[in-house]
Amino acid sequence: MELASYSDYAVRLVNTEEPARGRDSLTTVESVRELFGDSAQAARRATDADVTRFRSVRARLRAVFEAADAGDETLTVDLLNSLLLEFPVSPQISGHDIRDEDGRPDWHMHLADHPSNATAGFAAIAAMGLAFHLTTHGADRLGLCEAAPCRNAYLDTSTNRSRRYCSDRCATRANVAAYRARKRLAVERSAETRRTADAAQASSAKGER
């Protein structure tokens, strides 16, 4: 797994909660294990105690996204550095069984998986992945969905730094809401114009008498 892909760990964990909707899917050890994806060995280490620990890390990762979304790069980096210090990683060069066209191993950086508990392992991976994404693309590439009340976290990988929503669904919903708002405003302005015209006409008629 390449370092860039580790940033998805942070997004997956943060998005297990939707504060504005009062939803939280991180309630059981099974939900914790699901966050590890294909990493079955790491998932097996999870226990009931990790539910609370994961929620604590989740709050801290959300704070990183909130700081980035607010444009406070210094706070974003400080919060992320705090996680990196608390949950250090053990990098190693890995080739797995992948070979290039010349038959040589496809060497790449990998994070060793031998933490003290499931939370420590996941937090280290998520924080390192997010740090790699930030230093490669910039703090402004960490965002929170603008489609209220969603506020899910996302990583902007667009070429023109234009992403504002966590998914196509939220983008469509926001665009529809904006369209309806414009239509309402147009109707209100038209009605106000008619009222003004009617009042002017009535006043003119009264003056002619």
- Across 158-173, average pLDDT: 88
Beta-carbon count within 10 A of 193 CB: 10
pLDDT of 57 reads 98
57-115 pLDDT, tens digit each: 999 999 999 999 999 999 999 999 999 999 998 888 877 666 777 778 878 777 776 66
49-59 average pLDDT score: 97
Confidence of residue 179 (pLDDT cuts 50, 70, 90): low
Name residues whose C-beta falls within 8 Å of residue 111's C-beta, 6 or more positions apart in sequence: 1, 3, 6, 89, 90, 91, 92, 124, 125, 128
CA 76 to chain centre: 14
Give the largest CA-CA distance in the chain.
Answer: 99
Q: Summarize pLDDT for 24-37 with one digit per residue, the tens.
A: 999 999 999 999 98
pLDDT range class, residue 38, cuts 50, 70, 90: confident
Of 95, 81, 196, nearest to 139 by C-alpha is 81
CB atoms within 10 A of CB 60: 17
Q: What is the pLDDT at residue 106?
A: 78
pLDDT of residue 13: 97
Stated pTM of the model: 0.78
Percent of the chain exceeding pLDDT 70 equals 82
Contacts of 92 (CB under 8 A, 6+ apart): 109, 110, 111, 112
* Structure-derived torsion over alpha carbons of residues 50, 56, 59, 61, reported in degrees to the nearest 10: -70
- DSSP secondary structure letter of residue 139: G
- Residue 185's pLDDT band, with cuts at 50, 70 and 90, is low
Predicted confidence at residue 101, as pLDDT, reads 77
